[in-house]
Chains A and B, each alone.
Chain A
């Protein structure tokens, strides 16, 4: 079974600064997808960024980028120019790429609570 580990329960960052959230995962599969979801106090789960394991290039979405290290099974999220609205819980998630098994569910880490200091 796959596992996802987020070793930082809480992080803080000064507004306009950069912060990196860590995520490691364990899998024996070679084909899979990785995601970062944001959960603000409203409870809504919002996709921040996704990465396909077969792609070597790191995904980027505006101020959000990832550092995907497949051999190390590491998938960190970098938030640049942090804004007050970035304050939330951030969850790293894994999804199998095995189409035959049809494993479309997400396996989540425990989350990192990010605070943004004005």
Chain B
């Protein structure tokens, strides 16, 4: 059974710092991996999607890497801003057709000004 773990559970940093969020998964046979942002009481915003054949994806200040063989992914946030404060969720998808995402518990990030 696939399990997704995210470390740390919570993180507080001052504005401007670069930071790394970690995600690990137990079954390396994944189809893709997605990073989401969730604001309190709200739905999910997809940040980056990495296919199993890819090593990384970048969008603005965000960079996500994937090492499928070791079951790890990282989300790098450059020059953090207070608006980045949210919970970041990592999720893996096992197959293509009709398979759901399996989520980690998330890392709650707080960026102070």
Chains A and B bind each other: no
Which residues of B approach A to under 8 Å, CB–CB?
none
